[in-house]
Structure 1
């Protein structure tokens, strides 16, 4: 991946110490106070938006987002840019078999799962497009930090739930405890129990309550499944691991080349991805 220093263009604003900025582009209004979690999310989204502009995938006149909500064109351009820049090798048969052997318990046909989630609730009058963009930004952030020790000071998922979730469980870091299919709305249960994934799901889960960012912490019950019957799920898990690593490194490179003010991101001064 080749990146040149950013030119933020006409959207750049005069420096003010009370406003966090990426290459001069304000992440929030001067009087607005954001949590560290939301500020990082906005910074990562802005880094990606600027990268898409630099790559010619997004019009340079695309307005810097207000309230952290990207334009539809920016969201599509970022998806296209990530699809082009992130190199995700297809997991080999040998790697899949090693992963299955080391994590066989994950691939039982489970009927009980321990979950936590961040709910972006759909309420009357809510802007669904903006809501989805906020949910996708949250998913991007927690996937980028998937694997952080649960319950520790660095637990990004727990902080996201506390800061952003519209569910009372947010006060407990999004924890839902152990659930069976009967405990859930049918459409939610299909997404959770129709798969064998463990970890942050790589997609938003839709339910009658809204959009959920979901992490499956553990599964119990059911019978162990032979490798041949879960090979697809194993490959998905390895692709997700590769995506998390590549995305984290990509954001580190972008942050290392950007001028950041008022926001703390891990920055790499040398490229970690091609």
Structure 2
């Protein structure tokens, strides 16, 4: 009779280290709280701590902080100022962005919208909530007339009683990720993708739009320049951390496309 070895525990977690410097489990547990919206908060926490340790070790190597010291915000700023060369956005860059994103530079736009909210809570696994939201979206896309019935049955928002209707919305009336879905396109009807916010997963239907007026370039040029500068800096930091990672011995985490609080 053959025997079968019992499977290894599913929750076994590899030790995390950077160039032989161990990152303790308690630090990972503390970091998880900073990644509530990540698909896998624990994996995101591990990557964030690896990035922090990479930067800390580089700061030590450049003698910006003492060996064994923590990396504070001031030391991080000095490190990035020393190591990065981030070009400023030109007026031509700003004009191109303004021209190619007309919906972003309007005021007094009004959107009449409805939604179905699948709230994320501690009681329901994230993957299960996402799957239910996605399957409901596919059903509603096949039969748009069922949107209001689905809202009454499934939505975790008080608007469920109104078939999901949110009435009229202006910019600033909702969280940024929801607002972008409403105002940064000209779509009408049920949006083909879920909208993910801090509250959960939303099915969104745009019922009507009333266009406002376009803001003049001169009034938004500084904001565009600031946005483009931050975007370029973000990309430069991503590339910088990727270079550091390529030179390091990392155990227990795969950085992939580098992202996290330290590279925002």
What is the TM-score normalised by the length of structure 2? Answer: 0.49
What is the TM-score normalised by the length of structure 1? Answer: 0.47
Structure 1 or 2, whichever has the larger Rg, is: 2
